[in-house]
Chain A
Protein backbone atom coordinates (compact mmCIF):
# COMPACT_ATOMS: atom_id res chain seq x y z
CA UNK A 1 0.00 0.00 0.00
CA UNK A 2 1.18 3.50 -0.77
CA UNK A 3 2.33 5.47 2.23
CA UNK A 4 1.17 8.97 3.09
CA UNK A 5 4.64 10.37 2.44
CA UNK A 6 4.85 8.67 -0.93
CA UNK A 7 1.63 10.40 -1.95
CA UNK A 8 2.96 13.76 -0.74
CA UNK A 9 6.18 13.17 -2.66
CA UNK A 10 4.25 12.32 -5.81
CA UNK A 11 2.35 15.56 -5.45
CA UNK A 12 5.62 17.48 -5.09
CA UNK A 13 6.96 15.91 -8.29
CA UNK A 14 3.68 16.64 -10.01
CA UNK A 15 3.78 20.31 -8.96
CA UNK A 16 7.42 20.85 -9.90
CA UNK A 17 7.18 19.21 -13.31
CA UNK A 18 3.60 20.33 -14.02
CA UNK A 19 2.39 16.83 -14.88
CA UNK A 20 -0.54 14.79 -13.53
CA UNK A 21 0.25 12.99 -10.30
CA UNK A 22 -0.61 9.64 -11.97
CA UNK A 23 2.43 9.97 -14.23
CA UNK A 24 4.81 9.86 -11.25
CA UNK A 25 6.02 6.36 -10.38
CA UNK A 26 9.23 4.49 -9.48
CA UNK A 27 10.32 4.49 -13.13
CA UNK A 28 10.65 8.27 -13.21
CA UNK A 29 14.40 8.80 -13.46
CA UNK A 30 16.69 11.84 -13.60
CA UNK A 31 17.42 12.83 -17.23
CA UNK A 32 15.36 9.88 -18.52
CA UNK A 33 11.88 11.35 -18.29
CA UNK A 34 9.69 11.32 -21.40
CA UNK A 35 6.97 13.94 -21.14
CA UNK A 36 8.78 16.47 -19.00
CA UNK A 37 12.31 17.62 -18.26
CA UNK A 38 14.14 16.57 -15.10
CA UNK A 39 17.55 18.11 -15.66
CA UNK A 40 20.12 19.63 -13.30
CA UNK A 41 18.33 23.00 -13.17
CA UNK A 42 14.95 21.40 -12.44
CA UNK A 43 16.66 19.18 -9.90
CA UNK A 44 17.40 22.12 -7.58
CA UNK A 45 13.78 23.31 -7.85
CA UNK A 46 12.65 19.79 -7.01
CA UNK A 47 14.96 19.66 -3.99
CA UNK A 48 13.68 23.04 -2.76
CA UNK A 49 10.08 21.87 -3.11
CA UNK A 50 10.74 18.57 -1.32
CA UNK A 51 12.48 20.42 1.51
CA UNK A 52 9.56 22.84 1.78
CA UNK A 53 6.96 20.09 1.77
CA UNK A 54 8.63 17.99 4.46
CA UNK A 55 10.32 20.79 6.41
CA UNK A 56 13.75 19.21 6.06
CA UNK A 57 17.16 20.13 4.68
CA UNK A 58 18.83 17.36 2.72
CA UNK A 59 22.50 16.46 2.94
CA UNK A 60 24.46 17.40 -0.18
CA UNK A 61 25.17 13.71 -0.82
CA UNK A 62 21.45 13.00 -0.83
CA UNK A 63 20.84 15.85 -3.27
CA UNK A 64 23.37 14.23 -5.58
CA UNK A 65 22.04 10.69 -5.05
CA UNK A 66 18.41 11.51 -5.80
CA UNK A 67 18.39 10.00 -9.27
CA UNK A 68 14.84 8.64 -9.41
CA UNK A 69 11.46 8.82 -7.72
CA UNK A 70 12.25 5.50 -6.06
CA UNK A 71 15.49 6.93 -4.69
CA UNK A 72 13.70 10.09 -3.59
CA UNK A 73 11.29 7.99 -1.51
CA UNK A 74 14.18 6.21 0.22
CA UNK A 75 15.98 9.47 0.91
CA UNK A 76 12.93 11.27 2.30
CA UNK A 77 12.21 8.25 4.53
CA UNK A 78 15.59 8.84 6.22
CA UNK A 79 14.46 12.31 7.33
CA UNK A 80 10.75 11.85 8.11
CA UNK A 81 8.69 9.11 9.69
CA UNK A 82 5.60 7.99 7.92
Chain B
Protein backbone atom coordinates (compact mmCIF):
# COMPACT_ATOMS: atom_id res chain seq x y z
CA UNK B 1 0.00 0.00 0.00
CA UNK B 2 1.40 3.37 -0.91
CA UNK B 3 1.03 6.38 1.32
CA UNK B 4 0.08 9.69 -0.21
CA UNK B 5 2.36 12.40 1.05
CA UNK B 6 1.20 15.95 0.69
CA UNK B 7 3.96 18.29 -0.33
CA UNK B 8 3.59 22.06 -0.41
CA UNK B 9 7.26 22.94 -0.85
CA UNK B 10 7.81 26.15 -2.83
CA UNK B 11 4.17 27.04 -2.17
CA UNK B 12 2.99 30.01 -0.13
CA UNK B 13 0.00 29.68 2.19
CA UNK B 14 -1.73 32.73 3.73
CA UNK B 15 -3.69 31.91 6.90
CA UNK B 16 -5.80 34.43 8.84
CA UNK B 17 -6.65 33.79 12.47
CA UNK B 18 -3.56 31.60 12.65
CA UNK B 19 -2.81 31.93 16.35
CA UNK B 20 -5.55 29.66 17.68
CA UNK B 21 -8.00 26.88 16.90
CA UNK B 22 -8.48 25.76 13.31
CA UNK B 23 -6.02 28.32 11.88
CA UNK B 24 -3.26 27.15 14.18
CA UNK B 25 -3.94 23.46 13.46
CA UNK B 26 -3.87 24.17 9.73
CA UNK B 27 -0.59 26.08 10.05
CA UNK B 28 1.08 23.15 11.82
CA UNK B 29 -0.21 20.66 9.26
CA UNK B 30 0.97 22.83 6.37
CA UNK B 31 4.37 23.12 8.08
CA UNK B 32 4.61 19.31 8.09
CA UNK B 33 4.06 19.47 4.34
CA UNK B 34 6.96 21.95 3.92
CA UNK B 35 4.83 24.98 3.05
CA UNK B 36 5.97 28.59 3.28
CA UNK B 37 3.53 30.20 5.68
CA UNK B 38 2.09 33.67 6.11
CA UNK B 39 0.62 33.66 9.60
CA UNK B 40 -1.77 36.45 10.54
CA UNK B 41 -3.36 37.41 13.80
CA UNK B 42 -4.41 40.56 15.64
CA UNK B 43 -1.30 40.51 17.84
CA UNK B 44 2.22 39.48 16.94
CA UNK B 45 2.80 38.06 20.43
CA UNK B 46 0.10 35.46 19.87
CA UNK B 47 2.12 34.13 16.93
CA UNK B 48 5.48 33.86 18.72
CA UNK B 49 5.04 30.29 19.90
CA UNK B 50 3.50 29.09 16.64
CA UNK B 51 6.38 30.62 14.71
CA UNK B 52 8.84 28.55 16.74
CA UNK B 53 6.80 25.38 16.30
CA UNK B 54 6.64 25.94 12.56
CA UNK B 55 10.38 26.55 12.40
CA UNK B 56 11.02 23.36 14.35
CA UNK B 57 8.84 21.33 12.00
CA UNK B 58 9.80 22.65 8.57
CA UNK B 59 12.84 24.84 9.14
CA UNK B 60 11.09 27.51 7.06
CA UNK B 61 10.72 30.97 8.58
CA UNK B 62 7.07 32.03 8.41
CA UNK B 63 6.07 35.60 7.64
CA UNK B 64 4.19 36.66 10.79
CA UNK B 65 1.93 39.68 10.45
CA UNK B 66 -0.33 41.40 12.96
CA UNK B 67 -3.38 43.23 11.66
CA UNK B 68 -7.12 43.44 12.04
CA UNK B 69 -8.63 41.44 9.15
CA UNK B 70 -11.45 43.98 8.87
CA UNK B 71 -8.93 46.74 8.14
CA UNK B 72 -9.11 46.66 4.35
CA UNK B 73 -5.96 48.75 3.88
CA UNK B 74 -4.01 46.29 5.99
CA UNK B 75 -5.18 43.41 3.78
CA UNK B 76 -3.76 45.18 0.73
CA UNK B 77 -0.45 45.90 2.42
CA UNK B 78 -0.23 42.27 3.55
CA UNK B 79 -0.63 41.25 -0.09
CA UNK B 80 2.26 43.55 -0.98
CA UNK B 81 4.43 42.10 1.77
CA UNK B 82 3.71 38.56 0.56
CA UNK B 83 4.71 39.62 -2.93
CA UNK B 84 7.89 41.26 -1.66
CA UNK B 85 8.98 38.25 0.41
CA UNK B 86 7.78 35.26 -1.62
CA UNK B 87 6.88 36.66 -5.07
CA UNK B 88 3.83 34.37 -5.17
CA UNK B 89 0.72 33.13 -3.38
CA UNK B 90 -0.77 29.66 -3.81
CA UNK B 91 -3.32 29.24 -1.05
CA UNK B 92 -5.49 31.53 1.09
CA UNK B 93 -7.18 30.17 4.22
CA UNK B 94 -9.80 32.70 5.26
CA UNK B 95 -10.15 31.48 8.81
CA UNK B 96 -10.35 34.48 11.17
CA UNK B 97 -13.79 34.88 12.67
CA UNK B 98 -15.66 36.02 15.75
CA UNK B 99 -18.74 34.69 17.55
CA UNK B 100 -21.01 36.88 19.64
CA UNK B 101 -24.43 35.43 20.43
CA UNK B 102 -27.43 37.73 20.68
CA UNK B 103 -31.15 37.23 20.31
CA UNK B 104 -33.19 39.40 17.96
CA UNK B 105 -34.16 42.53 19.85
CA UNK B 106 -30.81 42.57 21.65
CA UNK B 107 -28.36 42.86 18.77
CA UNK B 108 -26.37 46.05 19.22
CA UNK B 109 -25.25 48.08 16.23
CA UNK B 110 -21.51 47.74 16.95
CA UNK B 111 -21.90 43.98 17.37
CA UNK B 112 -23.86 43.69 14.14
CA UNK B 113 -21.29 45.50 12.04
CA UNK B 114 -18.24 44.10 13.78
CA UNK B 115 -19.39 40.55 13.07
CA UNK B 116 -20.30 41.30 9.46
CA UNK B 117 -17.00 43.13 8.92
CA UNK B 118 -14.75 40.49 10.46
CA UNK B 119 -16.59 37.37 9.31
CA UNK B 120 -17.74 38.49 5.87
CA UNK B 121 -16.33 41.77 4.50
CA UNK B 122 -12.80 40.73 5.50
CA UNK B 123 -13.22 37.37 3.76
CA UNK B 124 -14.25 39.13 0.55
CA UNK B 125 -11.37 41.62 0.70
CA UNK B 126 -8.85 38.83 1.34
CA UNK B 127 -10.22 36.93 -1.68
CA UNK B 128 -9.99 40.11 -3.73
CA UNK B 129 -6.32 40.71 -2.93
CA UNK B 130 -5.31 37.02 -2.92
CA UNK B 131 -6.95 36.29 -6.27
CA UNK B 132 -4.96 39.12 -7.84
CA UNK B 133 -1.73 37.57 -6.59
CA UNK B 134 -2.85 34.13 -7.80
CA UNK B 135 -3.82 35.53 -11.23
CA UNK B 136 -0.14 36.13 -11.89
CA UNK B 137 0.60 32.45 -12.27
CA UNK B 138 -2.94 31.31 -13.04
CA UNK B 139 -3.18 28.91 -10.15
CA UNK B 140 -4.54 28.97 -6.63
CA UNK B 141 -6.87 27.63 -4.00
CA UNK B 142 -8.97 29.67 -1.60
CA UNK B 143 -10.55 28.01 1.42
CA UNK B 144 -13.16 29.99 3.32
CA UNK B 145 -14.15 28.88 6.79
CA UNK B 146 -17.93 29.11 7.08
CA UNK B 147 -19.93 27.23 9.73
CA UNK B 148 -22.74 24.74 10.07
CA UNK B 149 -24.69 27.71 11.48
CA UNK B 150 -24.41 29.44 8.09
CA UNK B 151 -26.26 26.51 6.53
CA UNK B 152 -28.91 25.64 9.08
CA UNK B 153 -29.08 28.56 11.54
CA UNK B 154 -29.38 28.54 15.30
CA UNK B 155 -31.11 30.41 18.11
CA UNK B 156 -29.14 33.49 19.14
CA UNK B 157 -27.01 33.39 16.03
CA UNK B 158 -28.85 35.56 13.53
CA UNK B 159 -25.81 37.78 12.98
CA UNK B 160 -23.21 35.02 13.10
CA UNK B 161 -25.36 32.81 10.87
CA UNK B 162 -25.86 35.65 8.38
CA UNK B 163 -22.14 36.32 8.22
CA UNK B 164 -21.32 32.64 7.71
CA UNK B 165 -24.10 32.17 5.12
CA UNK B 166 -22.62 35.22 3.40
CA UNK B 167 -19.28 33.43 3.26
CA UNK B 168 -20.96 30.57 1.39
CA UNK B 169 -22.57 32.97 -1.11
CA UNK B 170 -19.26 34.74 -1.66
CA UNK B 171 -17.51 31.37 -2.10
CA UNK B 172 -19.97 30.17 -4.75
CA UNK B 173 -19.74 33.38 -6.77
CA UNK B 174 -15.96 33.67 -6.49
CA UNK B 175 -15.61 30.03 -7.59
CA UNK B 176 -17.48 30.82 -10.82
CA UNK B 177 -15.57 34.02 -11.40
CA UNK B 178 -12.09 32.60 -10.79
CA UNK B 179 -12.44 29.16 -12.38
CA UNK B 180 -11.17 30.39 -15.80
CA UNK B 181 -7.98 31.51 -14.04
CA UNK B 182 -7.53 28.06 -12.50
CA UNK B 183 -8.20 29.42 -9.02
CA UNK B 184 -10.45 27.15 -6.97
CA UNK B 185 -12.66 28.48 -4.20
CA UNK B 186 -14.31 26.25 -1.63
CA UNK B 187 -15.79 26.62 1.83
CA UNK B 188 -15.79 24.35 4.81
CA UNK B 189 -18.59 24.34 7.33
CA UNK B 190 -17.27 23.07 10.67
CA UNK B 191 -19.70 21.92 13.32
CA UNK B 192 -18.74 21.78 16.99
CA UNK B 193 -14.94 21.96 17.12
CA UNK B 194 -12.75 21.99 20.23
CA UNK B 195 -11.56 25.61 20.12
CA UNK B 196 -11.74 28.55 22.51
CA UNK B 197 -14.80 29.63 20.54
CA UNK B 198 -16.61 26.38 21.42
CA UNK B 199 -15.36 26.38 25.02
CA UNK B 200 -16.79 29.85 25.57
CA UNK B 201 -20.34 28.51 25.98
CA UNK B 202 -21.97 27.31 29.22
CA UNK B 203 -21.51 23.67 30.38
CA UNK B 204 -25.23 22.96 29.78
CA UNK B 205 -25.04 24.31 26.24
CA UNK B 206 -21.81 22.36 25.70
CA UNK B 207 -23.54 19.08 26.64
CA UNK B 208 -26.55 19.97 24.53
CA UNK B 209 -24.28 20.45 21.53
CA UNK B 210 -22.52 17.12 22.12
CA UNK B 211 -25.90 15.40 22.18
CA UNK B 212 -26.67 16.80 18.74
CA UNK B 213 -23.62 15.14 17.14
CA UNK B 214 -24.11 11.67 15.67
CA UNK B 215 -20.50 10.75 16.22
CA UNK B 216 -21.01 11.66 19.86
CA UNK B 217 -17.92 13.81 20.32
CA UNK B 218 -16.55 17.27 19.69
CA UNK B 219 -14.30 17.67 16.64
CA UNK B 220 -10.58 18.26 16.88
CA UNK B 221 -9.17 21.33 15.06
CA UNK B 222 -6.78 18.95 13.30
CA UNK B 223 -9.71 17.14 11.74
CA UNK B 224 -10.83 20.41 10.17
CA UNK B 225 -7.28 21.28 9.16
CA UNK B 226 -7.10 17.97 7.28
CA UNK B 227 -9.96 19.06 5.03
CA UNK B 228 -8.31 22.46 4.56
CA UNK B 229 -5.14 20.71 3.35
CA UNK B 230 -7.15 18.49 1.05
CA UNK B 231 -8.79 21.54 -0.54
CA UNK B 232 -5.43 23.32 -0.79
CA UNK B 233 -3.72 20.36 -2.43
CA UNK B 234 -3.82 18.88 -5.91
CA UNK B 235 -5.89 16.00 -4.52
CA UNK B 236 -8.85 18.34 -5.01
CA UNK B 237 -7.68 19.85 -8.31
CA UNK B 238 -11.13 19.45 -9.91
CA UNK B 239 -13.14 20.62 -6.88
CA UNK B 240 -14.47 24.17 -6.79
CA UNK B 241 -17.56 25.96 -5.51
CA UNK B 242 -18.23 23.35 -2.82
CA UNK B 243 -19.19 23.63 0.82
CA UNK B 244 -17.83 20.70 2.81
CA UNK B 245 -19.33 20.03 6.21
CA UNK B 246 -16.85 18.90 8.87
CA UNK B 247 -19.23 18.16 11.72
CA UNK B 248 -19.30 14.48 12.66
CA UNK B 249 -22.94 14.26 11.62
CA UNK B 250 -24.23 17.18 13.65
CA UNK B 251 -27.92 18.04 13.59
CA UNK B 252 -28.99 21.41 14.95
* Contact between chains at B76 and A48 (CB < 8 Å): no
Rounded to whole Å, the gap between the CB of A49 and the closest CB of chain B is: 8
> Which residues in chain A, 16-63, are within 8 Å of chain B measured between CB atoms?
41, 44-45, 47-48, 51-52, 57, 59-60, 63
Given A41-B180, A48-B136, 5 other A-B residues pairs in contact with their CB atoms under 8 A: A47-B132, A51-B132, A51-B136, A52-B136, A59-B76
Closest to A55 in B: B83
Given the complex of chains A and B, what is the CA–CA distance between A52 and B180 in angstroms? 19
Chain B interface bracket (under 10, 10 to 19, 20 to 34, 35 or more): 10 to 19
Chain A interface bracket (under 10, 10 to 19, 20 to 34, 35 or more): 10 to 19
Given the complex of chains A and B, what is the CA–CA distance between A59 and B79 in angstroms? 11
Give the B-binding residues of A (Cβ under 8 A).
Answer: 41, 44-45, 47-48, 51-52, 57, 59-60, 63
From A45, A52, A57, A63, give the contact of B79 (CB < 8 A): A57
- B9 near A: Cβ within 8 Å? no
Closest to A51 in B: B136
* Contact between chains at A47 and B76 (CB < 8 Å): no
* Contact between chains at B180 and A57 (CB < 8 Å): no
From B79, B80, B135, give the contact of A44 (CB < 8 A): B135
Given the complex of chains A and B, what is the CA–CA distance between A51 and B129 in angstroms? 13
* Contact between chains at A45 and B76 (CB < 8 Å): no
Closest to B80 in A: A57
Given the complex of chains A and B, what is the CA–CA distance between A14 and B92 in angstroms? 31
* Contact between chains at A45 and B181 (CB < 8 Å): yes
Given the complex of chains A and B, what is the CA–CA distance between A82 and B79 in angstroms? 25
* Contact between chains at B83 and A57 (CB < 8 Å): yes
For B46, the chain A residues whose CB sits under 8 A away are none
